[in-house]
């Protein structure tokens, strides 16, 4: 048997599928890797802790002592194939889950592509301002608020906004001045946003 397993911080997280035939397992694995590689805003935290994911083909059939793979930084790595007396790693690779953006107005989680299709029009210019783990999308006097898990995720997304083209123009303000920050907080409170929520830096704290 060949099992497709997701690992979180080198510990088994979930079995996705099992195959009797090697070629079917490899085909399914390669499709998952391709989908993973297409993700540009990947999940880096769960339950308040930093994490990394790998996907592997695990089998009870011994193939070779060492497995060669490329890590998330593009470095060539070597690991022992043997997991225990019954299981061996056949293939392994870094794996990405897509991170969500919390849409505060709609009280729901959305993907980056959903954010683009719902809020960014090609013929407009928007300003994006970072506030702790949140950001404001501003179109003239229209404001939309979004939240992420922590400030690190918010910084990553601001960098992405600067690097990628979303079919529109975005003016990205990562370092808001003190007067501008005060104005934004007051404006959001006046519009009914919870002040305590606005001043927090995390949505999930480590336990």
Residue indicated by tokens 């880096």? 44
- pLDDT value for 73: 75
Q: Is 88 found in the same domain as 141?
A: no
Q: Is 149 found in the same domain as 128?
A: yes
Q: From first to last of its 207 residues, what are the pLDDT tens digits of the chain?
A: 999 999 999 899 999 999 999 999 999 999 999 999 999 999 999 988 999 999 999 998 887 888 887 877 778 878 888 888 788 999 999 999 999 999 999 999 999 999 999 999 888 889 999 999 999 999 888 899 999 999 999 999 999 998 887 767 889 988 888 888 898 999 899 989 888 899 888 876 544
Burial of 133 (0-12, 13-18, 19+ CB in 10 A): buried
Of the three residues 26, 61, 95, the one that is the final residue of a domain is: 95
Give the range of the structural domain holding residue 90, as residue numbers without chain letter. 2-95
Residue 204 lies in a domain: no
Of the three residues 40, 75, 95, the one that is the final residue of a domain is: 95
In this prediction the pTM is 0.85
How many structural domains comprise the chain? Answer: 2
> Strand 169-173 relative to strand 125-131: parallel, antiparallel, unpaired?
parallel
Q: Is 70 found in the same domain as 122?
A: no
Per the CB < 8 A criterion, the answer to whether 59 and 6 are in contact is no
């Amino acid at each position: 048997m060949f099992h497709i397993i997701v690992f979180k911080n080198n510990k088994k997280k979930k079995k996705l599928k099992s195959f009797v035939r090697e070629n079917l397992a490899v085909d399914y694995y390669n499709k998952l890797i391709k989908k993973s590689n297409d993700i540009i805003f990947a999940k880096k935290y769960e339950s308040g802790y930093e994490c990394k994911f790998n996907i592997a083909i695990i089998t009870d059939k011994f193939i070779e002592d060492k497995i060669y793979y490329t890590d998330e930084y593009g470095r060539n790595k070597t690991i022992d194939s043997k997991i225990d007396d019954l299981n061996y790693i056949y293939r392994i690779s870094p794996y990405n889950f897509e991170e969500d953006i919390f849409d505060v107005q709609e009280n729901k989680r959305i993907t980056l592509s959903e954010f683009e299709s719902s809020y960014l029009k090609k013929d407009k210019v928007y300003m994006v301002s970072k506030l702790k783990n949140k950001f404001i999308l501003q179109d003239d006097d229209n404001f939309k608020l979004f939240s992420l898990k922590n400030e690190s995720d918010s910084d990553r997304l601001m960098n992405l906004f600067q690097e990628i083209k979303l079919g529109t123009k975005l003016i990205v303000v990562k370092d808001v001045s003190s007067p501008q920050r005060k104005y934004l907080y007051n404006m959001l409170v006046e519009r009914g946003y919870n002040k305590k929520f606005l001043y927090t830096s995390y949505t999930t704290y480590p336990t």
